[in-house]
């Protein structure tokens, strides 16, 4: 993939990820947490399912493939979002984000342990530097309580979802996978809303606008681009760019909620970019080999 196109897609998907924290925080004034995220993914999943049907994009024919999509939806959508919103009951959104975005480090660890992936010492240092950058950017404060555990579980769920997409997504159309994993995840969250909270959603112009933004831009567009990047690149390397998401979250918080940007944001941003560079940097000789292979095969 062209490096400029890759960079543009990375900025697009991570900025949508980051801004969804801010937009979602505004949306919580009009809905209970699980119901808001359930409606977000149900709407996104239904719309995308209709689109892929109308475009006659090939759907999986095997029952096992549908089970795989449902499992991805469970981990990538229901598990991640459920744990995030429940963690917010006892810890701050910044603390939850710090824990959630440990995902890239966990992808490398799980990929090494369970999928026989190999990463160099430089990549390991890079992903750790990126996590340190996230930690610094979001205030460097994490108190250990039930919300801390839930935030960490969201990172585990996301890492599992990432590796499952890399393993199974090759044989499933990206748009079909995006549509139905969101639909399955949304259904799980919708049921969970009635079991775990007293669900409500206030219908106003602003609440509908927020819901549409979360469903269309922060879900359909964001997931489709993210899954495409995961399928066309190394899972560990691509996941390193997730460190940009909380950085964009802080920036949108400043723009939309007048949240202050302190020195730690600038320092954390520097660490983030250093970590991304170290994880994704390839030596000239290795790059030349990869380029020739791309051009002539």
Q: Give the helix ranges, DSSP H, for the chain.
A: 3-27, 33-54, 63-73, 80-87, 93-100, 103-114, 121-137, 146-168, 174-196, 205-215, 222-232, 235-240, 244-257, 263-280, 284-296
**Domain span at 52:** 3-296
Into how many domains does the chain fold? 1
| pLDDT value of position 70 | 93
CB 243 within 8 A of CB 104: yes
Is the pLDDT higher at 41 or at 137? Answer: 41
Rounded to 5°, the CA angle 148-149-151 comes to 65
Q: Over the stretch 237-253, which tens digit does the pLDDT of each residue have?
A: 676 677 777 778 778 87
Place of tokens 């490096």: 3
Tell me the percentage of the chain whose pLDDT exceeds 70.
81
SS3 content of the chain, % helix, strand, coil (to 5): 80, 0, 20
DSSP symbol at 92: -
| pLDDT value of position 24 | 82
Q: Over the stretch 37-61, which tens digit does the pLDDT of each residue have?
A: 999 999 999 999 999 999 999 898 8
Give the chain's mean pLDDT.
Answer: 80
């Amino acid at each position: 993939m062209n490096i400029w196109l890759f960079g543009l897609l990375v900025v697009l998907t991570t900025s949508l990820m980051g801004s969804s924290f801010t937009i979602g925080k505004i949306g919580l004034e009009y809905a209970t947490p699980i119901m808001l995220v359930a409606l977000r993914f149900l709407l996104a999943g239904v719309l995308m399912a209709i689109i892929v049907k109308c475009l006659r994009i090939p759907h999986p024919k095997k029952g096992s493939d549908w089970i795989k999509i449902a499992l991805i939806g469970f981990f990538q959508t229901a598990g991640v979002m459920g744990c995030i919103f429940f963690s917010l009951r006892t810890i701050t959104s910044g603390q939850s984000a710090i824990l959630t975005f440990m995902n890239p480090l966990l992808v490398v660890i799980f990929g090494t342990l369970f999928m026989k992936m190999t990463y160099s010492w430089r990549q390991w240092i890079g992903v750790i530097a990126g996590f340190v950058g996230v930690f610094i950017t979001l205030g460097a404060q994490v108190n250990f309580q039930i919300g801390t555990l839930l935030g960490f579980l969201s990172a585990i769920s996301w890492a599992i979802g990432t590796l499952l997409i890399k393993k199974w997504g090759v044989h499933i159309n990206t748009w079909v996978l995006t549509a139905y994993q969101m639909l399955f995840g949304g259904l799980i969250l919708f049921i969970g809303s009635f079991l775990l909270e007293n669900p409500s959603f206030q219908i106003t112009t602003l609440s509908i606008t927020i819901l549409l933004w979360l469903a269309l831009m922060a879900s359909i567009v964001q997931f489709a681009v993210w899954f495409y990047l995961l399928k066309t690149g190394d899972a560990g390397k691509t996941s390193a760019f997730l460190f940009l998401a909380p950085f964009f979250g802080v920036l949108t918080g400043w723009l939309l909620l007048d949240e202050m940007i302190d020195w730690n944001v600038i320092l954390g941003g520097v660490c983030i970019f250093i970590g991304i560079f170290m994880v994704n940097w390839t030596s000239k000789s290795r790059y030349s080999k990869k380029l020739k292979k791309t051009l002539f095969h």
